[in-house]
Amino acid sequence: MALPVDGIATPVEGIDEPALARALAAIVSASRDVSRHVRSGALLELPETHGEINVQGEVVHPLDILGTETFVRAFDASNVVAGLVCEELAEPQFYSVDPASPSYLCVLDPIDGTSNADIAITIGSIYGVFPTEAGVELSGEQPFLRPGTDFVATGYVLYGSSTVLVLATPGRVQEFTLHDASGEFRLTRADMRIPDTCPYYSVNQGYEDRWDPAVQRAVQAVRQGRSLRYVGSLVSDFHRDLVRGGVFLYPADSKNPNGKIRVLYEAAVFAYIAEQAGGAASIGVGPVLELVPDSVHQRTPLFIGNAVAVEQIDHALRAGG
């Protein structure tokens, strides 16, 4: 059994605000269920799909539906999560909450790396938690159009060779590992810092022909002396960078002029984690965390991980590559 560090054994025990602890407990509980589903692989009885296309223009995988339903049920029952933006839901959803308690707005990618779902390769869930702002009407997209600096907690769950949950709160990033027998997520890394060494870079090099010449030159510069690793699930590539050191790049290209990664439930969530862990995240022309999206499913270019490498890319892009 993992020993409690600083008295913290599970994600929720480290949280002083009871309402926030409750919101995180909903995420922890849904992740445990999704982990079980993911591990069943092809043996899982999945909801039927008929080639439906989601708001992203992508074919919906049955696991996307099951993951969304699992988190939605947990948020709806929590009494403290007032709303949700989810990769798989065209519009934000709102839930009733206890008016006497603080409440939160969550952003979620229930299954990140869907293209890896049927081939037993690591996928994950990505979450972010905003405090509900006083006096803001809880309807439509407006309550979610906020910068990542507003988050009070973000993180992800990785369904890999083990299931790990990473939780970032102000100044602190922790990793918990799911202990299957008890269903508990137990603390396994207490204070994660992105290493100063940066041995890896991750990018879909196959898209090189679609990049601007400036991006081509920036990637060419940043990859010197580094090994390429690319899982195709951002959640996995980011976890390697957080633990071992590295930098992840998803630039804009001719097919995706705004990039592919979504601002709210991907880029900003990881940017918040990276910054708490001493790393950096940029959209190429400034920090991800300062970006206020115009719409909840907005996309952005993303350069994230080791702070020196991210600055190297920014510098190269500013100089035209």
Q: Which residues pair with 157 in a beta bridge?
A: 125, 165
- For the chain, what is the total number of helices (H) and then of strands (E)? 6, 15
Which residue's CB comes closest to ligand AHG? 234
**Residue 112 touches ligand AHG, criterion: CB under 6 A:** yes
Alpha helices in 247-306 (DSSP H): 268-276
Q: Which residues from 66-95 bind ligand AHG, rule CB under 6 A?
A: 87
Closest distance of CB 248 from ligand AHG, Å: 8
CA distances from 169 to 203, 252, 274 (A): 28, 29, 11
> φ and ψ at 320, to 5 degrees?
80, 25
* DSSP track, 83-141: EEEETT-SS-EE----TTS--EEEEEEEEE-GGGGGGT--EEEEEEEEEPPTT---SSS
Q: What residue 279 binds from Mn ion, ligand AHG, none (CB within 5 to 8 A, per partner kind)?
A: none
**Interaction mask 225-264, ligand AHG, x per CB under 6 A:** -------xxx-------------------------x----
Closest distance of CB 205 from Mn ion, Å: 20
Give the interface segment with ligand AHG, choosing from 6-14, 98-106, 111-119, 133-141 (CB under 6 A): 111-119
Closest distance of CB 100 from ligand AHG, Å: 36
Length of the chain: 321
Closest distance of CB 140 from ligand AHG, Å: 23
Q: Which residues from 104-143 bind Mn ion, rule CB under 5 A?
A: 109, 112
Binding site for ligand AHG (CB under 6 A): 58, 87, 109, 112-114, 204, 232-234, 260
